[in-house]
Amino acid sequence: MAIKDIVLPDGREVVIDQWLHYPLFSTVELGITGGNSDPFDLKLFSYVRGQRVPQTANVPAAPFRGRIADERDTNMMKRAGMNYDEAFIFYGFTYEMFGLTNSTFLIGDTTQNVAQAPMVDAANLKRFDRDVMIELTVGAGQKAKPTVRAPWSYLRQSIGSPAWTSGDTVLANTHLSSGSGGYITPKNQRQWEFPISIDSMQVVNCHVFSSFGNVAGLTQSLRIRVWMDGLKRRPID
């Protein structure tokens, strides 16, 4: 545990503690194959800068495939948990999603909606909502007892850039489409009724997966950045 309680020579106790609003974030990347997403079960918050970003097999080649994580991908100081001099009080998930590729046409559609990377086609986001789960487990040996387990549609987007489209036709029967998880405002974030505490050196496992193996009909490779919004205990120097 981190040192925070100090007993002075005269017997008085001093608590040295500082908590900051310091959301933790982590990124994973998902490729597509055969008109669907790759089968996937990707672990978030499982790496630090300098290690590989979790990806599926068909993430587009350079500059994406085999990418090494940098400051854009995570701010974790210790993989899969809190460092010895940290702690975290976690009160909500939120996310950002980016297209690694442009959306493609679905065969048989007479009117097409398209999104150019890094925009995400609104229909692709709804396919993700439909098929994907997120799960968080706090503590070692707790695999069968997740702290949070919910469909992706339960989450709401409270961070990122608002997007508007003109609604104009790009080509004949082709329209621009851009999706998000709601209005970009803190009020839109789905928060827990009771905050979740992650203590120093405590293990955290978080993963995003499809219960059906893949996301049917997905037409873009995606980068998903998930945020755990909360208060982080500042390390004592």
Tell me the pLDDT tens digit for each residue of 118-163.
Answer: 888 888 999 999 999 999 999 876 666 888 899 999 998 888 777 6
Residue pair 152/134 in contact (Cβ under 8 Å)? The answer is yes
What is the spatial distance between Cα 179 and Cα 176, in angstroms, rounded to a whole number?
10
Query: What is the β-pairing status of strands 19-21 and 13-15?
Result: unpaired
Note the pLDDT tens digit of each residue in 65-100.
Answer: 989 999 999 999 999 889 888 889 999 999 999 999
Cα distances from 221 to residues 16, 116, 124, in angstroms, run 46, 12, 10
Mean pLDDT score of the chain, rounded to an integer? 84
Token match 């203590």: residue? Answer: 199
Give the number of C-alpha atoms closer than 13 A to the C-alpha of residue 125, restricted to the C-beta side: 25
Name the pLDDT band for 169 (thresholds 50, 70, 90). Answer: low
Taking the C-alpha atoms of residue 196 and residue 199, their distance in angstroms, rounded to an integer, is 10
What does DSSP assign to residue 94? E
Question: Is residue 237 very low, low, confident or very high in pLDDT (cuts 50, 70, 90)?
Answer: low
Looking at residue 211, what is its pLDDT?
Answer: 80
Instruction: Kindly report which listed range (3-12, 69-78, 106-115) carries the lowest average pLDDT score.
Output: 106-115
- The one-letter code for the residue type at 192 is W
pLDDT of residue 235: 65
Q: What distance lies between CA 170 and its chain's CA centroid? A: 31
Phi, psi of 122 (to 5 degrees): -60, -35
Residue type, 161: S
Confidence of residue 172 (pLDDT cuts 50, 70, 90): low
* Separation CA 227–CA 12 (nearest Å): 39
pTM of the model: 0.84
First-last CA distance in the chain: 14
